[in-house]
Structure 1
Amino acid sequence: MKIIECPRDAMQGITEFIPTETKISYLNTLLQVGFDSLDFGSFVSPKAIPQMRDTEEVLAGLDLSATKTKLLAIIANLRGAEQAATHREIKYLGFPLSMSEMFQQRNTNKSIAQALEELAQIQDVCVKNGKELVTYISMGFGNPYDEPWNTETVGEFVQKLDKLQVKIISLSDTIGVSNPENITYLFSNLIPAFKHIEFGAHLHTNPNTWQEKVEAAYNAGCRRFDGAMKGFGGCPMAKDELVGNMATENMVQYFNQKGVDLGLNETAFASALAQAGSVFAH
């Protein structure tokens, strides 16, 4: 079981700039918890995501000496990938590939076809620099723009990514429209069909439906879950459709009750949870 903590996702939509020192302190606490990966920052245009303009400064302040947690950085184009790849501390580069043409344009200023072309180049950068590419299929459970969506199309996207030898694919519910039925269908069909691919669940949700979503994904075989402390954040590019991230503490409680050993440091977890309240009080 892998839990990926996503403070970057939680921070990026906050208008007021969170001081670099505050970010470093919070991330260093999270690094003590024992998560599999930490989605800590992004190499994107400061104009697009001003909150993340200090990612390199934050990276320089992280204490990685006694942690098993791997770092993941989000990138939106080849230039960002090349920049991120120069940092040996970063293990994963994450790219958002949308099933919605409108959202792809909104999120990365390119069409889906252009994004796939660039993704192939980004994969080359990852291979050459010893990084692993994580591709998020955003709007993976539907979209608010009345654009066509069905489960077969999700499968087609996965096939295209498989041809690029992408080994980690996270199905992302960008606007909180997933339900137990489509979650179960997608994971229970994709996981056995692509055994060599690690599938993750990046589920945005409201506080009332989180458990049924986690349960559906887990029962369908998913063993990689993204979350953010206290459910802060979401995607600022989704604008009016914004819903919060899956609250990490809810997921941890659920898996603990299921008897799943997450290997987390409970003291550090409690400290990070307490710290999150002040970090995101903006």
Structure 2
Amino acid sequence: MLHLTECPRDAMQGWPTFIPTPDKTAYLNALLRVGFDTLDFGSFVSPKAIPQLADTAEVLAGLDLSQTRTQLLAIVANLRGAETAAQYPQIRYIGFPLSVSETFQQRNTNKSIAQALDDVAQMQELCARSGQEQVVYLSMGFGNPYNDPWSPEVLGEFTQKLADLKVGIVALSDTIGVSTPATIGPAFRELTAAFPQINFGAHLHTTPDTWREKVQAAYEAGCRRFDGALGGYGGCPMAADQLTGNMPTERLLEFAGAEGVGPQLNQPALAEAMRLNQQIFVGH
């Protein structure tokens, strides 16, 4: 079975108009009823950086976790954010973007890769104390616009550092929408073979006509953990092609069904979530 992470946080965070807190909460509760494995629901970052998600704590307080198998994931940008997330035991995963591009790491978090790795180490210790699990996203995971080094070997070097810290989940993230089967396949093939103790995920961005080849390449190379967002909203402001966005969850479900590895989801709840999705992203 595929492990599916639904990412409304990624869909919402760059939305140009503020989505009211009750609307966010209702949408997330609908998604919780669907039965995805993980829900990337919000982030604990500076409101100046991402004002759309300044209400994450308030939204979290309104979530009904009583009848769902879905685990919550929150994104953080530094140790301070992780310390905040660790105060909420209902959050299972704490996600941190670690860039394989030195330039982007500096621009995104105002820290060097070495400093970010120090944060990862401290967050790993924090998660061990709080009973949570860290998910490290290797951003710029398929290339970058700065001519910083990239190759499957570079990804392997970063992953070795994470393995040494006992990080158990690593997601390759296509920050700018440049992934192709030619880069996706070798990356996952080499990493899954070299680090069997790590659960590798794919956070891919896509245009409407390239989604299948990307998912197929990752799947055939051993990836079983995929991120998506209903409707494909959000996800890729740096992409050259304006049609590039998050991997649509409905496409992941289509692929999983064809392969016979689809999760058992609550279909009426999924239909209701899609209705609210359109209400939020078309209505606002």
Task: Bin the TM-score by the shorter chain.
Answer: over 0.9
Q: What code does the residue aligned with 1:189 have? A: E
Distance 2:220 2:46 in 1: 38
Q: CA deviation at 1:135?
A: 0.1
Q: What code does the residue aligned with 2:43 have? A: S
Which residue of structure 2 lines up, in the alignment, with residue 60 of structure 1? Answer: 61
CA deviation profile, 1:11-60 (whole Å, cap 9, x unmatched)? 00012110000000000000011100000000000000000100000000
TM-score by length of 2: 0.96
CA deviation profile, 1:59-95 (whole Å, cap 9, x unmatched)? 0000000000000000011110000000010000000
Q: What code does the residue aligned with 1:81 have? A: A
Where do residues 75-224 of structure 1 align in structure 2 (5 Å cutoff)?
Answer: 75-224=76-225
Identity level (%): 62
Q: What code does the residue aligned with 2:253 have? A: V
Runs of 4+ off more than 2 Å: 238-243
Segments of 5+ residues of structure 2 without an aligned counterpart are none
Matched, 1:15 2:28: no
Please tell me the root mean square deviation across aligned C-alpha atoms, in Å: 1.3
Segments of 5+ residues of structure 1 without an aligned counterpart are none
Q: What code does the residue aligned with 2:182 have? A: E
Distance 1:104 1:49 in 2: 17
Distance 1:207 1:106 in 2: 29
What SS is found at the alignment partner of 1:126? helix
Distance 2:250 2:240 in 1: 26
Q: CA deviation at 1:239?
A: 7.5
Q: Residue 9 of structure 1 contacts residue 235 of structure 1 at CA under 8 Å; is this kept in 2?
A: no
Q: What code does the residue aligned with 1:176 have? A: G
Q: Residue 177 of structure 2 contacts residue 239 of structure 2 at CA under 8 Å; is this kept in 1?
A: no
Distance 1:235 1:204 in 2: 7
Matched, 1:275 2:280: no
Distance 2:189 2:240 in 1: 31
Q: Residue 13 of structure 1 contacts residue 235 of structure 1 at CA under 8 Å; is this kept in 2?
A: no
TM-score by length of 1: 0.97
Aligned length: 281
What SS is found at the alignment partner of 1:32? helix
Q: CA deviation at 1:148?
A: 2.1
Q: Residue 152 of structure 2 contacts residue 190 of structure 2 at CA under 8 Å; is this kept in 1?
A: no
